[in-house]
Structure 1
Amino acid sequence: MTILYIDADACPVKAEAERVASRHRVAVRMVSNGGIRPSQNPLVETVIVPEGPDAADMWIAERCGRGDVVVTQDIPLAARCVEAGARVIKPNGEALTAANVGNALAMRDLAADLRAADPFRQGGGKGFTKADRARFLDALEREMRAALTA
Protein backbone atom coordinates (compact mmCIF):
# COMPACT_ATOMS: atom_id res chain seq x y z
CA MET A 1 0.00 0.00 0.00
CA THR A 2 1.44 3.33 -1.09
CA ILE A 3 1.68 6.14 1.47
CA LEU A 4 2.47 9.78 0.74
CA TYR A 5 4.73 11.24 3.43
CA ILE A 6 5.01 15.02 3.61
CA ASP A 7 7.76 16.78 5.55
CA ALA A 8 5.16 19.40 6.44
CA ASP A 9 7.15 22.04 8.33
CA ALA A 10 7.43 24.97 5.91
CA CYS A 11 6.14 22.88 2.98
CA PRO A 12 4.47 25.19 0.45
CA VAL A 13 2.58 22.43 -1.39
CA LYS A 14 0.63 20.61 1.33
CA ALA A 15 -2.78 21.36 -0.20
CA GLU A 16 -1.66 20.31 -3.69
CA ALA A 17 -0.17 17.07 -2.36
CA GLU A 18 -3.39 16.32 -0.50
CA ARG A 19 -5.45 16.86 -3.68
CA VAL A 20 -3.29 14.47 -5.73
CA ALA A 21 -3.33 11.83 -2.97
CA SER A 22 -7.13 12.12 -2.67
CA ARG A 23 -7.57 11.63 -6.41
CA HIS A 24 -5.57 8.38 -6.16
CA ARG A 25 -7.07 7.39 -2.78
CA VAL A 26 -3.63 7.24 -1.15
CA ALA A 27 -3.08 7.69 2.59
CA VAL A 28 -1.12 10.80 3.59
CA ARG A 29 1.09 11.31 6.64
CA MET A 30 1.58 15.05 7.21
CA VAL A 31 4.57 15.09 9.61
CA SER A 32 5.67 18.18 11.56
CA ASN A 33 6.75 19.57 14.91
CA GLY A 34 3.34 21.23 15.22
CA GLY A 35 1.80 24.44 14.05
CA ILE A 36 -0.10 23.03 11.09
CA ARG A 37 -3.86 22.81 10.87
CA PRO A 38 -5.13 19.22 10.75
CA SER A 39 -6.93 18.28 7.56
CA GLN A 40 -10.57 17.19 7.56
CA ASN A 41 -9.73 14.70 4.81
CA PRO A 42 -10.05 11.13 6.19
CA LEU A 43 -7.03 10.04 4.09
CA VAL A 44 -4.76 12.54 5.85
CA GLU A 45 -3.19 11.78 9.21
CA THR A 46 -1.47 14.69 10.92
CA VAL A 47 1.57 13.41 12.80
CA ILE A 48 3.05 15.74 15.42
CA VAL A 49 6.52 14.66 16.49
CA PRO A 50 8.34 15.87 19.62
CA GLU A 51 10.40 19.03 19.40
CA GLY A 52 14.00 18.40 18.54
CA PRO A 53 16.40 18.49 15.66
CA ASP A 54 15.28 16.36 12.74
CA ALA A 55 12.50 14.59 14.67
CA ALA A 56 10.10 14.79 11.71
CA ASP A 57 12.83 13.62 9.34
CA MET A 58 13.65 10.62 11.51
CA TRP A 59 9.97 9.69 11.79
CA ILE A 60 9.56 9.69 8.01
CA ALA A 61 12.87 7.93 7.28
CA GLU A 62 12.07 5.13 9.73
CA ARG A 63 8.70 4.39 8.07
CA CYS A 64 8.96 5.04 4.34
CA GLY A 65 9.92 2.34 1.89
CA ARG A 66 9.46 0.87 -1.55
CA GLY A 67 6.22 2.05 -3.14
CA ASP A 68 5.93 5.18 -0.99
CA VAL A 69 6.30 8.80 -2.10
CA VAL A 70 8.00 11.46 0.05
CA VAL A 71 7.76 15.25 -0.38
CA THR A 72 10.64 17.10 1.26
CA GLN A 73 13.14 19.91 0.73
CA ASP A 74 15.53 18.25 3.19
CA ILE A 75 18.34 16.63 1.19
CA PRO A 76 19.68 14.32 3.95
CA LEU A 77 16.13 13.06 4.54
CA ALA A 78 15.69 12.58 0.80
CA ALA A 79 18.88 10.50 0.67
CA ARG A 80 17.64 8.22 3.45
CA CYS A 81 14.25 7.82 1.78
CA VAL A 82 15.77 7.05 -1.63
CA GLU A 83 17.99 4.46 0.07
CA ALA A 84 14.86 2.90 1.60
CA GLY A 85 13.32 2.61 -1.87
CA ALA A 86 10.84 5.51 -1.70
CA ARG A 87 10.24 7.99 -4.51
CA VAL A 88 11.19 11.53 -3.46
CA ILE A 89 10.28 14.90 -4.87
CA LYS A 90 10.98 18.43 -3.74
CA PRO A 91 8.21 21.05 -3.57
CA ASN A 92 9.56 22.60 -6.78
CA GLY A 93 8.92 19.32 -8.64
CA GLU A 94 12.52 18.12 -8.77
CA ALA A 95 12.75 14.35 -8.33
CA LEU A 96 15.57 13.03 -6.17
CA THR A 97 16.74 9.58 -7.16
CA ALA A 98 19.64 7.23 -6.52
CA ALA A 99 21.29 8.81 -9.58
CA ASN A 100 21.22 12.43 -8.34
CA VAL A 101 20.76 12.53 -4.56
CA GLY A 102 24.51 12.15 -3.89
CA ASN A 103 25.22 15.21 -6.03
CA ALA A 104 22.43 17.12 -4.25
CA LEU A 105 24.02 16.25 -0.87
CA ALA A 106 27.44 17.43 -2.09
CA MET A 107 25.98 20.73 -3.35
CA ARG A 108 24.15 21.23 -0.05
CA ASP A 109 27.38 20.70 1.89
CA LEU A 110 29.30 23.05 -0.42
CA ALA A 111 26.68 25.77 0.03
CA ALA A 112 26.86 25.34 3.83
CA ASP A 113 30.66 25.67 3.70
CA LEU A 114 30.42 28.83 1.59
CA ARG A 115 27.92 30.39 4.00
CA ALA A 116 30.15 29.51 6.97
CA ALA A 117 33.22 31.01 5.27
CA ASP A 118 31.50 34.36 4.66
CA PRO A 119 29.19 35.27 7.56
CA PHE A 120 28.37 38.61 5.91
CA ARG A 121 27.07 37.00 2.74
CA GLN A 122 23.50 38.10 2.24
CA GLY A 123 20.69 36.51 0.33
CA GLY A 124 18.61 33.42 0.47
CA GLY A 125 17.03 30.94 -1.83
CA LYS A 126 14.78 31.74 -4.74
CA GLY A 127 11.17 32.53 -4.03
CA PHE A 128 8.55 29.84 -4.63
CA THR A 129 6.73 30.56 -7.91
CA LYS A 130 3.54 29.46 -9.68
CA ALA A 131 5.78 27.59 -12.14
CA ASP A 132 7.33 25.67 -9.21
CA ARG A 133 3.84 24.75 -8.00
CA ALA A 134 2.83 23.57 -11.48
CA ARG A 135 6.04 21.50 -11.83
CA PHE A 136 5.35 19.96 -8.43
CA LEU A 137 1.81 18.94 -9.38
CA ASP A 138 3.04 17.32 -12.60
CA ALA A 139 5.92 15.56 -10.83
CA LEU A 140 3.76 14.29 -7.97
CA GLU A 141 1.18 12.95 -10.40
CA ARG A 142 3.93 11.06 -12.29
CA GLU A 143 5.53 9.70 -9.10
CA MET A 144 2.17 8.68 -7.64
CA ARG A 145 1.21 6.78 -10.79
CA ALA A 146 4.61 5.07 -10.90
CA ALA A 147 4.39 4.12 -7.20
CA LEU A 148 0.90 2.69 -7.61
CA THR A 149 1.80 0.56 -10.62
CA ALA A 150 5.13 -0.71 -9.26
Structure 2
Amino acid sequence: MDKIHIHVSRKEKEKLIKWYGWIFVLVICLTPLVIIILPKLMLNVNRINSLLKESCIPEKQSINGVVNRVSWHKTYDGDIGCIEGHIEIIDSHNNVIHCLFKKYVGPNFNQLININYNDNLYLTGIFKDQLFLIRNIKNNTNNQVYTTEPMVSVY
Protein backbone atom coordinates (compact mmCIF):
# COMPACT_ATOMS: atom_id res chain seq x y z
CA MET A 1 0.00 0.00 0.00
CA ASP A 2 1.32 3.45 -0.92
CA LYS A 3 1.97 6.00 1.75
CA ILE A 4 -0.18 9.12 1.53
CA HIS A 5 2.11 11.58 3.25
CA ILE A 6 5.25 13.42 2.20
CA HIS A 7 7.33 14.92 5.00
CA VAL A 8 7.98 18.60 4.30
CA SER A 9 10.30 20.70 6.44
CA ARG A 10 8.59 23.79 7.82
CA LYS A 11 9.97 27.15 6.78
CA GLU A 12 9.20 30.50 8.33
CA LYS A 13 6.37 32.31 6.62
CA GLU A 14 6.82 35.83 5.32
CA LYS A 15 4.59 38.32 7.14
CA LEU A 16 2.70 40.89 5.07
CA ILE A 17 2.15 43.30 7.97
CA LYS A 18 5.54 44.19 9.43
CA TRP A 19 6.13 45.75 12.85
CA TYR A 20 6.05 49.26 11.38
CA GLY A 21 2.65 48.49 9.82
CA TRP A 22 1.21 48.13 13.30
CA ILE A 23 2.45 51.64 14.13
CA PHE A 24 0.56 52.92 11.07
CA VAL A 25 -2.60 51.13 12.23
CA LEU A 26 -2.28 52.65 15.73
CA VAL A 27 -1.80 56.16 14.29
CA ILE A 28 -4.84 55.71 12.03
CA CYS A 29 -6.90 54.64 15.07
CA LEU A 30 -6.15 57.99 16.73
CA THR A 31 -7.51 60.01 13.80
CA PRO A 32 -10.97 60.36 12.24
CA LEU A 33 -9.62 58.46 9.20
CA VAL A 34 -10.21 55.26 11.17
CA ILE A 35 -13.84 55.33 9.97
CA ILE A 36 -12.74 55.09 6.33
CA ILE A 37 -9.43 53.21 6.32
CA LEU A 38 -9.84 50.56 9.03
CA PRO A 39 -12.88 48.79 7.47
CA LYS A 40 -11.09 48.59 4.10
CA LEU A 41 -7.97 47.25 5.79
CA MET A 42 -9.97 44.64 7.69
CA LEU A 43 -11.83 43.52 4.54
CA ASN A 44 -8.51 43.10 2.73
CA VAL A 45 -7.02 41.12 5.63
CA ASN A 46 -10.13 38.91 5.75
CA ARG A 47 -9.96 38.31 1.98
CA ILE A 48 -6.29 37.31 2.20
CA ASN A 49 -6.87 35.00 5.19
CA SER A 50 -9.76 33.30 3.38
CA LEU A 51 -7.64 32.85 0.26
CA LEU A 52 -4.80 31.29 2.27
CA LYS A 53 -7.14 28.96 4.20
CA GLU A 54 -8.86 27.75 1.03
CA SER A 55 -5.49 27.04 -0.61
CA CYS A 56 -4.68 24.28 1.92
CA ILE A 57 -5.24 20.96 0.12
CA PRO A 58 -5.66 17.77 2.21
CA GLU A 59 -3.42 14.74 1.57
CA LYS A 60 -6.17 12.20 0.89
CA GLN A 61 -4.95 10.57 -2.31
CA SER A 62 -1.63 9.95 -4.01
CA ILE A 63 -0.37 9.22 -7.50
CA ASN A 64 2.93 8.20 -9.05
CA GLY A 65 3.89 9.01 -12.57
CA VAL A 66 6.19 10.51 -15.15
CA VAL A 67 5.89 14.13 -16.27
CA ASN A 68 4.58 14.44 -19.80
CA ARG A 69 4.08 18.21 -19.85
CA VAL A 70 4.72 21.01 -17.34
CA SER A 71 4.23 24.78 -17.37
CA TRP A 72 4.83 27.38 -14.64
CA HIS A 73 3.84 31.00 -14.17
CA LYS A 74 3.78 33.50 -11.33
CA THR A 75 1.08 36.10 -10.73
CA TYR A 76 0.70 38.86 -8.15
CA ASP A 77 -2.28 40.18 -6.21
CA GLY A 78 -0.84 43.10 -4.26
CA ASP A 79 1.89 41.69 -2.02
CA ILE A 80 0.76 38.09 -2.48
CA GLY A 81 2.39 36.14 -5.26
CA CYS A 82 1.03 32.88 -6.63
CA ILE A 83 3.20 30.22 -8.24
CA GLU A 84 0.94 28.10 -10.43
CA GLY A 85 1.98 24.98 -12.26
CA HIS A 86 0.03 22.81 -14.66
CA ILE A 87 1.52 19.33 -14.73
CA GLU A 88 0.44 16.44 -16.93
CA ILE A 89 1.40 13.04 -15.48
CA ILE A 90 1.33 9.62 -17.13
CA ASP A 91 0.83 6.92 -14.49
CA SER A 92 1.86 3.26 -14.63
CA HIS A 93 -1.39 2.34 -16.45
CA ASN A 94 -0.67 4.95 -19.20
CA ASN A 95 -3.49 7.18 -17.95
CA VAL A 96 -2.98 10.92 -18.42
CA ILE A 97 -3.66 12.87 -15.21
CA HIS A 98 -3.89 16.67 -15.20
CA CYS A 99 -2.55 18.23 -12.00
CA LEU A 100 -2.56 21.73 -10.53
CA PHE A 101 0.12 23.11 -8.21
CA LYS A 102 -0.87 26.44 -6.63
CA LYS A 103 1.20 28.09 -3.90
CA TYR A 104 0.76 31.55 -2.38
CA VAL A 105 4.01 33.30 -1.51
CA GLY A 106 5.27 36.65 -0.28
CA PRO A 107 7.11 39.22 -2.36
CA ASN A 108 10.58 37.94 -1.33
CA PHE A 109 10.02 34.24 -2.09
CA ASN A 110 12.23 33.15 -4.98
CA GLN A 111 12.41 29.35 -4.76
CA LEU A 112 12.28 27.69 -8.17
CA ILE A 113 10.23 24.56 -8.74
CA ASN A 114 12.58 22.18 -10.54
CA ILE A 115 10.29 19.75 -12.36
CA ASN A 116 11.03 18.80 -15.94
CA TYR A 117 9.80 16.51 -18.70
CA ASN A 118 10.32 12.80 -17.84
CA ASP A 119 10.82 13.39 -14.10
CA ASN A 120 9.35 10.67 -11.89
CA LEU A 121 6.98 12.26 -9.35
CA TYR A 122 5.08 11.12 -6.28
CA LEU A 123 2.15 13.51 -5.63
CA THR A 124 -0.26 13.80 -2.72
CA GLY A 125 -3.47 15.78 -2.75
CA ILE A 126 -7.04 15.24 -3.83
CA PHE A 127 -8.99 14.74 -7.07
CA LYS A 128 -11.59 17.40 -7.85
CA ASP A 129 -13.49 17.64 -11.15
CA GLN A 130 -11.07 15.46 -13.20
CA LEU A 131 -8.12 17.51 -11.87
CA PHE A 132 -5.61 16.43 -9.23
CA LEU A 133 -5.04 19.30 -6.79
CA ILE A 134 -1.52 18.91 -5.42
CA ARG A 135 -0.61 19.29 -1.74
CA ASN A 136 2.97 17.95 -1.88
CA ILE A 137 5.34 16.76 -4.59
CA LYS A 138 8.34 14.48 -4.21
CA ASN A 139 10.51 14.52 -7.31
CA ASN A 140 12.03 11.01 -7.24
CA THR A 141 14.47 12.03 -9.99
CA ASN A 142 16.36 14.59 -7.86
CA ASN A 143 14.82 13.92 -4.38
CA GLN A 144 13.40 17.45 -4.06
CA VAL A 145 10.19 18.01 -2.10
CA TYR A 146 7.75 20.85 -2.81
CA THR A 147 4.59 21.86 -0.97
CA THR A 148 1.64 24.09 -1.76
CA GLU A 149 1.44 25.27 1.84
CA PRO A 150 1.39 29.09 1.74
CA MET A 151 4.69 30.80 2.52
CA VAL A 152 2.98 34.02 3.57
CA SER A 153 0.79 35.13 6.47
CA VAL A 154 -0.96 38.38 7.22
CA TYR A 155 0.26 38.81 10.78
Q: Scaled by the length of structure 1, what TM-score is found?
A: 0.23
Which structure has greater helix proportion?
1
Which structure has greater strand proportion?
2
Q: Scaled by the length of structure 2, what TM-score is found?
A: 0.23
Work out which of the two has the higher radius of gyration on C-alpha atoms and give 1 or 2. Answer: 2
Higher relative contact order (CA 8 A, sep 6+): 2
